[in-house]
Structures are given as C-alpha cells and as structure tokens.
Amino acid sequence: MENSYRFFRNTDCKYFPCHNVEDSEEFNCMFCYCPLYLLDDCGGKYVINNGVKDCSNCLIPHRPKGYDYILNKLIEANNSKKQK
C-alpha cells in the first residue's frame, strides 16, 4: 500500500516488522503503539501476563484497515464515557 494519513510503512525501522506477518507490504506502522491499549474492550487478541496486557499476538493496528478500526473504537469509547 502507499503511505498516506491512514497507512504508513517504515521499512527503515530496526524492528520492522515488529510482529510475524505473512505480507510485510501491508504492514501498517501508523500506530506503532496502539492507542487502544488502555481500553478493557479493545477487541484485540491479547493476554494478561503478571497483570500486564500483552498484545504481541494482535495485528489490528498493523493491518491496512486498522486506522478505521481504531478510530471507530475510540469514538465508541468516548461516546460511552459521555453517557455515564
């Protein structure tokens, strides 16, 4: 994919790709650190190790459509927070 405001691939990063993937051409580095980390219901594939959320097996932020997913999840979390 082409770099844009929704997708960015940094092949110069010494950790690229930071997860095991089949196709590094579609690996999105836009959210190197996932903004959903602090959400209990992030929708991602994670485990809790010694009280710490381990997202090593989650690729949501690194998929081409991860930007849209994350944006929608943040809007949803913000709206539910306002209702409380």
Query: Does residue 9 fall inside a structural domain?
Result: no
Query: Does residue 2 fall inside a structural domain?
Result: no
**What does residue 2 show for φ and ψ, rounded to 5 degrees?**
-90, 140
The number of beta carbons lying within 10 Å of the beta carbon of residue 78 is: 9
Tell me which residue range forms the domain holding 49.
24-83
Contact residues for 18 (Cβ-Cβ < 8 A; gap 6+): 32, 62
The Cα 78–Cα 17 span in angstroms is: 30
pLDDT of residue 84: 67
The Cα 36–Cα 70 span in angstroms is: 7
Query: Does residue 4 fall inside a structural domain?
Result: no
The Cα 84–Cα 70 span in angstroms is: 21
Query: Does residue 30 fall inside a structural domain?
Result: yes
Query: Does residue 19 fall inside a structural domain?
Result: no
Per-residue pLDDT of the chain (84 residues; tens, 9 = 90+): 788 889 999 999 999 998 888 889 999 999 989 999 999 889 999 999 999 999 988 999 999 899 999 999 999 999 987 876
Whole-model pTM above 0.85? no
pLDDT of residue 28: 93
Number of domains composing the chain: 1
